[in-house]
């Protein structure tokens, strides 16, 4: 099962005639645990930042050095706390493997 389906997320591509496409993520059931937090996270990520975040998760999973309080470029006030085997984003806890899979799904969508 896609992780986006598990969290009731929908990936959206908006085509613009005069400039490049834009991408967003919508939470279809706002009350569903974590869906708002995850949709906000994905919508704000740049392509490079998303890839770097996956690398940070892989480092944590492999026991290599990683940033325990990971800061995103667009939101430097809300760290993502990486505490293997989980991550905490704005109070929502998600398994690192699921977060990594969700980021990879997002990356594939943005590239398609």
The domain locations on the chain are 3-111
Q: Which two tokens stand for residue 41?
A: 């996270």
User: What CA–CA distance (Å, rounded) separates 2 from 11?
Assistant: 12
Local structure of 29: helix, strand or coil: coil
Q: 38: closest CA among 55, 26, 49, 56?
A: 26
On whether the CB atoms of residues 3 and 102 are closer than 8 A, the answer is yes
Which of 3-7, 8-12, 74-78 shows the lowest per-residue confidence on average (mean pLDDT)? 74-78
Handedness of CA 32, 53, 14, 78 (dihedral sign): positive
pLDDT at 30 over 80: no
Q: What is the pLDDT of residues 44-100, one digit of tens each?
A: 888 888 899 999 999 999 999 999 998 887 666 677 999 999 999 989 999 999 999
Whole-model pTM?
0.90
**For residue 75, what pLDDT is reported?**
66
Question: Is there a cis peptide before residue 85, judged by omega within 30 degrees of 0?
Answer: yes
């Amino acid at each position: 099962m896609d992780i986006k389906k598990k969290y009731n997320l929908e990936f959206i591509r908006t085509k613009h005639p005069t400039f490049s496409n834009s991408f967003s993520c919508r939470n279809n059931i706002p009350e569903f645990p974590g869906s708002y937090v995850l949709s906000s996270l994905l919508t704000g990520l740049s392509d490079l930042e998303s890839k770097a975040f996956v690398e940070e998760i892989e480092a944590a999973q492999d026991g290599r050095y990683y940033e325990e309080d990971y800061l995103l470029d667009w939101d430097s006030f809300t760290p993502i706390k990486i505490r293997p085997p989980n991550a905490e984003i704005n109070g929502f806890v998600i398994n690192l493997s699921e977060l990594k899979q969700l980021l990879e799904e997002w990356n594939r969508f943005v590239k398609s």
